[in-house]
Structure 1
């Protein structure tokens, strides 16, 4: 007989927008900014919520344009509410480019 094991499953959302794909950077950035500001406000309401944030290109630009929100973003990261993932400037398509492209990214 197999012993039942109690599992704890985490569902951690994130969004992803290519920096340049069907829209230009500014259009994707505007979408990202709205989402990120909404996320920071939502985290105040739901302290158990967690989120993965990829692509530092958007975070860097967000911090440049919205310096008044840097503290709130850093605090959310420090508290583990937002987890930076990927650690790349952009999140590369790993099914198409060469290994050199992945290293340079």
Structure 2
């Protein structure tokens, strides 16, 4: 667009970018390709086999696991990380059965 004689302000308006961004492109300081990020693992990754064993035993309380981390003095003691991981493995809550007790009008009184 610059070669066509358009100003930086006009290019910015047409492309929706700021004027500073257009200037960086024109100077060659800015590449249009996005970089790829490395995926990093969770703090729980080294302990997932241990957690899986405990989940198979039926222990779904995240507080029990946080005590284990405190004893080992390791990174990843935070409860929210543990809760999010354990939540997927918990069995659904069962609604208690309710037996309705109905009487005729005035009979119970």
Structure ID, larger Rg: 2
Name the structure where strand makes up a greater proportion of residues.
1
Which structure has more relative contact order (CA 8 Å, sep 6+)? It is 1
